[in-house]
Amino acid sequence: MKTRPPMTRLLATAGAALLAIAAIPASAIEPFNATYQANYMGMRAQANMTLAQEGGNRWKYDLQVAGAGARLQQATVFEANGEQWRPVSSNDSQRGESGLAAMLLKNREVNTVYDWSANQARFSGDVREGQGAPVALQAGDLDGMLMNLVLVRDVQAGKSPLRYRLVEDGRAKRQLFERTGTEQVTVGGRSLQATKVVRTDGRREIIAWIVDDMPVPARLLQRRDGKDVIDLRLQAVN
């Protein structure tokens, strides 16, 4: 049976981060706990997204998706120094533990250290061939999780263009999201207006629906070759 492609970092999603040098003061950061209904390659699951203070100026942003025998996790520790937010370390893993998920998913885990004193990102774990060398860091670089937070806040602040540099999986890539209008989304039984933003990169597409005053996307959809890979729909956030 053909192995399905691994889940790329969302959060999301580019992807990936939420957080570059965003023009948002550190005092605006507040912890939250969000629950999502997830559909991963046709398998229904539940997802939990949290932001918690680690101590001092460090925060941990975490996404866990579990269900139908699959378990996915993305976690980023970042520093907030005034208006500068930057990743310190990240972990990205996926496992097919039972049933269909065990056949479709390849177990994989990648760890990244963002060494700002040396201006290098270093990767370990199941890094793809040819992507294990350190990557030079630039001011404002994000990982996929941090990009989610930055994307939400930049859209809410009316920032344009929504352009970022993502460093993860052994490489650096430019990310550009475009606003494509507004649509209604349902969160906790309420119909809300959301700004829709899209990033297209060859075979991959990430779409996010962002509602004012919500710290996370109301919906996050990742597609490959025109087919849905993962679809997260917000149920509640507090």
Secondary structure of residue 103 in the 3-state scheme: helix
User: Which pLDDT tens digit goes with each residue over 89-103?
Assistant: 999 998 776 665 555
Cα–Cα distance for residue pair 38/70, rounded to 1 Å: 11
Residue 105 has pLDDT above 50, yes or no: yes
Cα–Cα distance for residue pair 163/201, rounded to 1 Å: 13
Residue 112 · residue 98 · CB < 8 Å: no
Task: Write down the pLDDT at residue 72.
Answer: 87
Mean pLDDT across 223-234: 92
Angle at the Cα of 9 from the Cα atoms of 200 and 227, rounded to 5 degrees: 50
Cα–Cα distance for residue pair 66/128, rounded to 1 Å: 24
Mean pLDDT rounded to a whole number for the chain: 85
Task: Write down the pLDDT at residue 26.
Answer: 38
Number of Cβ atoms within 10 Å of the Cβ of 159: 14
User: Which pLDDT tens digit goes with each residue over 121-139?
Assistant: 999 998 888 888 999 999 9
Task: Write down the pLDDT at residue 142.
Answer: 96
Cα–Cα distance for residue pair 148/17, rounded to 1 Å: 5
Task: Write down the pLDDT at residue 104.
Answer: 65
Minimum mean pLDDT range among 8-17, 22-31, 92-101, 227-236: 8-17
Q: How far apart are the first and last CA of the chain?
A: 41
Task: Convert 40-73 to b/e letters by CB count within 10 Å (16 or more is b).
Answer: bbebebebebbbeeeeeeebbbbbbbbbbbbbbe
User: Which pLDDT tens digit goes with each residue over 176-205?
Assistant: 999 999 999 999 999 999 999 999 988 899
User: Which pLDDT tens digit goes with each residue over 41-94?
Assistant: 778 889 999 999 998 899 999 999 988 677 889 999 999 886 688 999 999 998
User: Which pLDDT tens digit goes with each residue over 141-172?
Assistant: 999 999 999 999 899 999 999 999 999 989 99
pTM for the full model? Answer: 0.83
Residue 5 has pLDDT above 80, yes or no: no
Residue 15 has pLDDT above 90, yes or no: no
